[in-house]
Amino acid sequence: MKILMHTKMLAFAAAFIALPATAEEPAAQAQTEAEQPKDAVEDLAYRAVKPLGTPAPEGYKPPLSAEAVVTFNAIVRRSMNALDEFDRLNQDLETARKSNDSARIAEINKRFGELEQQAAAARTDFQTEKAALIARQEYFDSSVVGAMEYYVEQAPGEIAEALAAKGG
């Protein structure tokens, strides 16, 4: 699942792209050391979120409507949750194999199949929502939607590939 790490970050960042951004405010908005973001994702989120009521620059067009951001992010989250649980269960599977716990191994393998189905359902839902977005002729930035779509499209295959490599 390490392959999708960059894509996860990109999909997460896409949610913030839809928020209006303005030029940096004067020193009045300076932060204290304790307020500084701790990592790159947090830093991106911190910079993207401006106080409510901050006007967007003239001619600014968000890459997605707020409704589309909420809809697509919920679908991406479902894929991410399936992959995260799959990663966690892989660790549990190794422990179960070491202790020869056949009941737990069977339970985990069953759950793997369910997670693959959940990821596939998220992929289908994303395709449906993207088609609806296009049908409404709503503006969207194809690179933002494409990054999210890539992540959702790859998730079921990653689970299936990992299962095949394990012989499961």
Instruction: Report the C-alpha gap between 36 and 38 in whole angstroms.
Output: 6
- What tens digit of pLDDT does each residue of 1-51 get? 444 444 444 444 444 444 443 333 334 344 444 444 455 555 555 455 666
Instruction: Report the C-alpha gap between 110 and 51 in whole angstroms.
Output: 46
Q: How many domains does the chain have?
A: 1
Containing structural domain, residue 151: 1-20+32-52+61-168
Instruction: Report the C-alpha gap between 40 and 44 in whole angstroms.
Output: 6
Decide if 132 is inside a domain. yes
Phi, psi of 141 (to 5 degrees): -85, 115
Phi, psi of 131 (to 5 degrees): -60, -40
Decide if 15 is inside a domain. yes
- What tens digit of pLDDT does each residue of 86-125 get? 999 999 999 999 999 999 999 999 999 999 999 999 999 9
User: In the block, which residue shows the tokens 């966690």?
Assistant: 88
Decide if 39 is inside a domain. yes
Model pLDDT, residue 164: 85
